[in-house]
C-alpha cells in the first residue's frame, strides 16, 4: 500500500494552488476525505501528496451575492440544512445532500468533494487483491472494460447526488488554477469518459458553487439504491421546472457523466423521457441490472412529471 509521503494544510486558496502547482503530477486535494481516503485504502488512489483544504476559512461561507446563493466548496453536506434560504429556494439540494451516504459521513463530506466524487463501477471499487484476481479493468490500467465484456471505453458511472440536483438548478462553479480564475456551468466540467471524468487539470480548485436565486424552481428528486442509507446511487433523477417554463431533467448513476435533457412546459413529457433513456449509456456495472435501471428511468421520470403537475 502507498503511504502518504507528504501532507500540507494551507490556510489560503492562493497557498493551496501554489502547493498544487509544485506537486502537479502526484497530489490530491483533500476535503472531507470520505472519497479520497477510501480510495487510498483500496489503492485506486495512489498520489503520494495530500493537500488538505480544511484550513481555508473562506471556502466555508454561504452568502447571497447578486442574484445567486454562493456555497463554499468546504461546506459539509450536513451543514446545508442550517441555511433556511436553501429550504425555501432549493429544497431539492437539501434532499439530494440528505440522500448521500450516512449521517456520520455527511458531517465530514463536503459539497465540493461531492461534485468531484470519483466515478464508480463494480469492477473498479474493489480491493487491489480482487481487481488483480479478476484481471484489471480499463479504469485501473487494464486493457478492456470488464463490465461490457471487452470495449475500449470506460463506462464507470457518475456517482455524485448533489451534482445532479445542482445541474438541474443551473448551478455554476467558481474555480481557481495557478494562473486563472473563472466561472463555469457545473454540467460542463464532466467529460463522459469514465477514466478521466472531469475536464479539470489536477490543480484546479473549486472555491464555491453558485445557484441562481428567484427563478421559482420546482423539483422532484428520486434515488434508486439497495438500502435507504449508505448506498451509492444506482439511478438518481431530478426534474426541475422554473417560472419561465424551462424543464431540466438530470440523471446520475447511468452514464459516466450526468445525463441532461432540457425542454419547456408544453413539451410532451413522454418524448423528453424517451430522450433521457436513449442518452443514458447504462452498462452492467451495478448491483441492479442494466435493464432494470433503464426501466426505472421511465418509472421515476413519469412519477416526477405527475408530481410536478399536481
Binding site for ligand FAD (CB under 6 A): 28-36, 38, 53, 73, 77, 100-101, 105, 109-110, 112-114, 116-117, 159-161, 205-206, 230, 232-233
Nearer to ligand FAD, 198 or 275 (CB): 198
CB of 31 to ligand FAD, least distance (A): 3
CB of 99 to ligand FAD, least distance (A): 6
Nearer to ligand FAD, 109 or 259 (CB): 109
230 conformational bin, left if phi > 0, alpha if psi -120 to 50, beta if neither: left
Sheet containing 246-252: which strands, arranged edge to edge? 218-224, 235-241, 246-252, 259-264
CB of 173 to ligand FAD, least distance (A): 9
Nearer to ligand FAD, 35 or 242 (CB): 35
- Give 121's contacts (C-beta < 8 A, 6+ positions apart): 137, 139, 147, 154, 155, 156, 157, 194, 285
Nearer to ligand FAD, 55 or 246 (CB): 55
Query: Considering only CA atoms, which of 210, 178, 201 is closest in space to residue 62?
Result: 210
What whole-number distance in Å separates Cα of residue 171 and Cα of residue 271? 25
Nearer to ligand FAD, 83 or 158 (CB): 158
Nearer to ligand FAD, 189 or 247 (CB): 189
User: Could you give the C-alpha distances from 229 to 8, 110, 194, 223, 235, in angstroms and in order?
Assistant: 33, 17, 25, 11, 14
* H or E segment and range at residue 128: helix 128-134
CB of 16 to ligand FAD, least distance (A): 9
Nearer to ligand FAD, 160 or 241 (CB): 160
What angle do helix axes 269-279 and 290-309 make, rounded to 10 degrees?
150
Nearer to ligand FAD, 247 or 297 (CB): 297
Residue 52 backbone dihedrals phi, psi, to 5 degrees = -80, 120
CB of 40 to ligand FAD, least distance (A): 10
CB of 57 to ligand FAD, least distance (A): 13
Q: What is the DSSP letter of 218?
A: E
Question: What one-character-per-residue DSSP string does 1-68 give?
Answer: -PPP-EEE--SSHHHHHHHHHHTTTSEEEESS-TTHHHHHHTTS---SEEEE-TT-GGGG-EEEETTE
CB of 135 to ligand FAD, least distance (A): 25
User: CB 289: neighbour CB atoms within 10 A?
Assistant: 12
- Structure-block grid coordinates of residue 248: 431540466
CB of 240 to ligand FAD, least distance (A): 18
Question: Which residue is closest to ligand FAD by CB?
Answer: 113
Amino acid at each position: 500500500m502507498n503511504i502518504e509521503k507528504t501532507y500540507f494544510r494551507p490556510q489560503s486558496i492562493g497557498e493551496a494552488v501554489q502547493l498544487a502547482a509544485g506537486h502537479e503530477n502526484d497530489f490530491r486535494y483533500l476535503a472531507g476525505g470520505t472519497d479520497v481516503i477510501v480510495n487510498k485504502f483500496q489503492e485506486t488512489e495512489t498520489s503520494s501528496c495530500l493537500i488538505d483544504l480544511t484550513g481555508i476559512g473562506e471556502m466555508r461561507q454561504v452568502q447571497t451575492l447578486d442574484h445567486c446563493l454562493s456555497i463554499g466548496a468546504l461546506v459539509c453536506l450536513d451543514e446545508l440544512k442550517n441555511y433556511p434560504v436553501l429550504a425555501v429556494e432549493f429544497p431539492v439540494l437539501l434532499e439530494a445532500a440528505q440522500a448521500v451516504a450516512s449521517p456520520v459521513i455527511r458531517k465530514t463530506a463536503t459539497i465540493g468533494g461531492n461534485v468531484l466524487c470519483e466515478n464508480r463501477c463494480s469492477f473498479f471499487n474493489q480491493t487491489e487483491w480482487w481487481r488483480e484476481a479478476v484481471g484489471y479493468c480499463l479504469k485501473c490500467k487494464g486493457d478492456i472494460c470488464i463490465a461490457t465484456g471487452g470495449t475500449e471505453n470506460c463506462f464507470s458511472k457518475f456517482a455524485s447526488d448533489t451534482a445532479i440536483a445542482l445541474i438541474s438548478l443551473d448551478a455554476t462553479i467558481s474555480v481557481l488554477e495557478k494562473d486563472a480564475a473563472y466561472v463555469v456551468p457545473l454540467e460542463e466540467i464532466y467529460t463522459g469518459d469514465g477514466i478521466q471524468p472531469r475536464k479539470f487539470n489536477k490543480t484546479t480548485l473549486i472555491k464555491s458553487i453558485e445557484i441562481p436565486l428567484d427563478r421559482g424552481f420546482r423539483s422532484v428528486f428520486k434515488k434508486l439504491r439497495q438500502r435507504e442509507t449508505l448506498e451509492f446511487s444506482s439511478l438518481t433523477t431530478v426534474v426541475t421546472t422554473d417560472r419561465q417554463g424551462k424543464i431540466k431533467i438530470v440523471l446520475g448513476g447511468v452514464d459516466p457523466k450526468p445525463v441532461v435533457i432540457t425542454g419547456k412546459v408544453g413539451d410532451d413529457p413522454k418524448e423528453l423521457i424517451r430522450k433521457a433513456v436513449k442518452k443514458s449509456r447504462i452498462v452492467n456495472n451495478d448491483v441492479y441490472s442494466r435493464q432494470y435501471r433503464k426501466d426505472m428511468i421511465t418509472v421515476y421520470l413519469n412519477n416526477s412529471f405527475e408530481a410536478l403537475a399536481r
